[in-house]
Amino acid sequence: MTNAEKNRLKDKAFQVFGVFCTFIGLVILAIFLIDILIEGLARIDWDFITSLPSRRASRAGILTAWAGTLWILVLTSVIAFPLGIAAGVYLEEYSKKTRLANFLEVNIANLAGVPSIIYGLLGMEMFGRVMGLGGSILAGALTLSLLVLPIIIVTTREAIKAVPRSIRDASYALGASKWQTTWNQVLPASFGGILTGVILALSRAVGEAAPLIVIGALAYVPFVPTSPTDEFTVLPIQIFNWTSRPQADFLVNAAAAIIILLLITFILNGIAVYLRNKWQKRVKW
Amino acid sequence: MSNVRLTYTKLNFAILLGGSLLLGACGGNNKTEEGTNGTVSENLTGSIQIDGSSTVYPITEAVAEEFRAEAPDVKVTVGVSGSGGGFKKFSRGEIDLANASRSIKPEEADAAKENNISFVELSVAFDGLTVVVHPENNWVKEITVAELKKIWEPAAQGKIKKWNQIRPEWPDKEIHLYGAGVESGTYDYFTEAIVGKSHSSRGDYTASEDDNVLVQGVSTDPLALGFFGYAYYEENQSKLKAVPVDDQNDANGKGAILPSMETVKDGSYAPLSRPLFIYVNSKATARPEVVEFVNFYLDNAATLSQEVGYIPMPEEQYKEQKAKFQQFASGSAKK
């Protein structure tokens, strides 16, 4: 066997290995999806989406759960979006490479790895007790904002880093200030990447149950929340609650609720893909 | 291609948003037609906050659901922070009622006293902790409390590992233990009843707060022995075998006794049948909707607890609990 043949063989082997690795993830995901769909799909109907929780599995619905999830989603994005982007812009464009900046950087990276229940404990004390928000939607959204902020900050910075140096230099050369350069050149150019990060962060927030249970989100809420100070429940909590019931019918409900939650996540990811494509087409250097 | 996907996503999103607007309007007419006891005045308003044990949750949820049909303007919410979490909020005065699968601990009661909260404990139903083995297990016909203690006490850790260490005629095979997680009221109750000291047991067993996980474990492991709430056994009878328990006290039924509606209700399934409680905050009893709700709870707990898998108490006991509550409510109203 010649050297070239050997290399070609190695190449082939790695290709097969790569395909195998890709498929492991996909196959497991497919098994999970198929299992959930078989179990839950038949349970989803208009009544299921518009009914209140009930002790009878066949009559129970997820109205208040997904309404709560939607509330949380909107409030969390309103809070985390400006904060995260502003922090990212500051760290990338303004801050000098001092010790403090280094310290902040390391901490933000670490925060992204803190277990979500810790944020729940922090949120309960800070927002629930000290600020007196209790177990309200606002307390939940603030807690989840803390949870996703590190992710948003990190992706914002990455997106901003990807903007070529020459764009900034050209802007400065025309006499623009730092703010004008950031606002008119850097942010529009990186906005697709930033939005993608924000939306992926939000789809993580949508799946969280633990920190919300800690701050006092409830399991049985028989009314749709109408203001940020109302009490609430979310889909993951409803799912968690149903899976721990003894009756098998509740497990079917849980599967159906999981499908709805997946749908929400898929929609969010779809929006992320769409926005990225739209912004990437617009940016031409 | 990407365009097609795009419109699809947009459509879905629009449906979701449109749905949410519609739903606000039609969420109210979910009344139930089933007959429930007790008359509640239609014009009560206000809100009632309940939190605590996830074991008691299904009963309270059922009561809240029915109460909604009687008093539609009272907002009842129920959380599941666990008995301990519930008592913590209860003693801070953050909630009106606490669900509990164990009695309040002295330190929790002290915390409540510090905040000037007095309370009343009301039992609402029974649960029979069921000792189970795999259906293929043909050697265990019954077990005594002393043997259970031998298995579960802290001293058994790392020592009692085989079935024949418990009874010589049982096989020389490993025993695999499954039980409630240490944070649950179920664990506290089981250790109190079996080991004799609450919150004390061996640590080398498969623990889960989720009883379905335990069901799964015992039903797939021929060498397993586990315990969990009666409802989980009842729903999975084909996959599990319940073990009759002998407390060696003939005063409450001779010999080993299987848990069932009857044996738990009449107290002969001892010591593993446990009462489930709600605790009522004295300040909350000043509000008519809370008083109505608690009375409604005690009036309907018998039917509703059975419906969600628990065992109702005898009728006289509900009357006693109701009298106890009445006395408490009028007592705290005077203060």
Residue pLDDT, tens place only, B183-196? 888 898 999 999 99
The domain tally of chain A equals 2
Question: If residue A89 lies in a helix (H) or strand (E), which one and from where to where?
Answer: helix A63-89
Residue A54 near chain B (CB below 8 Å) = yes
Assess whether A110 and A37 both reside in one domain: no
Assess whether A105 and A229 both reside in one domain: yes
- Flag whether pLDDT at B126 surpasses 90: yes
User: Are B3-126+275-330 and B130-271 in the same CATH fold?
Assistant: yes
Report the DSSP pairing between strands B46-52 and B97-100.
Answer: parallel
What is the nearest CA distance from B66 to chain A, expressed in angstroms? 9
The residue of A55, A64, A66, A279 whose CB has the most chain B CBs within 10 angstroms, and thus the best one to mutate to test that interface, is A55
Assess whether A17 and A52 both reside in one domain: no
Average pLDDT score over chain A:
90
The answer to whether B154 and B202 are in contact (CB under 8 A) is yes
Q: Do A224 and B76 touch (CB under 8 A)?
A: no
Closest CA to A208 of A273, A111, A140, A271: A140
Q: How far apart are CA B188 and CA B129, in angstroms?
A: 12
Q: Is B136 buried (19+), middle (13-18) or exposed (0-12) by CB count in 10 A?
A: exposed
Assess whether A16 and A83 both reside in one domain: no
Assess whether A91 and A15 both reside in one domain: no
Assess whether A60 and A123 both reside in one domain: yes
Check residue B42 and give its pLDDT: 60
Assess whether A64 and A164 both reside in one domain: yes
Q: How far apart are CA A59 and CA A253, in angstroms?
A: 10
- Flag whether pLDDT at A285 surpasses 70: no
ipTM score of complex: 0.80
Q: Do B75 and A49 touch (CB under 8 A)?
A: no
Q: Do A55 and B57 touch (CB under 8 A)?
A: no
List CB contacts of A260: < 8 A, sequence separation 6 or more.
A44, A49, A62, A66, A235
Instruction: Name the residue facing A231 among B6, B77, B236 (closest C-beta).
Output: B77
Residue pLDDT, tens place only, A123-162? 989 998 899 898 899 999 999 999 999 999 999 999 999 9
Residue type present at position B167: R
Residue pLDDT, tens place only, B256-302? 999 999 999 888 898 999 999 999 999 999 999 999 999 999 999 99
Assess whether A31 and A170 both reside in one domain: no
Q: Do B57 and A277 touch (CB under 8 A)?
A: no
Check residue A150 and give its pLDDT: 92
Check residue A100 and give its pLDDT: 84
Residue B19 near chain A (CB below 8 Å) = yes
Residue pLDDT, tens place only, A69-106? 999 999 999 999 999 999 999 988 888 878 888 888 88
Percent of all residues in chain B with a pLDDT value above 70, rounded to a whole number: 86
The structural domains of chain B, with segments of one domain joined by +, span: 3-126+275-330, 130-271
Chain B residues 60-99 with a CB less than 8 Å from chain A: 60-62, 64-65, 68, 75-81, 89, 94
Q: How far apart are CA A2 and CA A9, in angstroms?
A: 11
Check residue B182 and give its pLDDT: 86
Assess whether A178 and A229 both reside in one domain: yes
Chain A residues 110-149 with a CB less than 8 Å from chain B: 134-135
Assess whether A133 and A34 both reside in one domain: no
Check residue B333 and give its pLDDT: 59
Assess whether A98 and A9 both reside in one domain: no
Q: What is the CATH number of the domain that holds A71?
A: 1.10.3720.10
Check residue B1 and give its pLDDT: 37
Q: Do B81 and A213 touch (CB under 8 A)?
A: yes
What is the band of B40 on the pLDDT scale with cuts at 50, 70, 90? low
Assess whether A57 and A196 both reside in one domain: yes
Q: What's the distance, Cα to Cα, between the start and end of chain B in Å?
A: 73
What is the band of A62 on the pLDDT scale with cuts at 50, 70, 90? very high
Tell me the fold of B3-126+275-330. Answer: D-Maltodextrin-Binding Protein; domain 2 (3.40.190)
What is the band of B18 on the pLDDT scale with cuts at 50, 70, 90? very low
Tell me the fold of B130-271. Answer: D-Maltodextrin-Binding Protein; domain 2 (3.40.190)
Q: Which domain holds residue A248?
A: 48-282
- Flag whether pLDDT at B2 surpasses 80: no
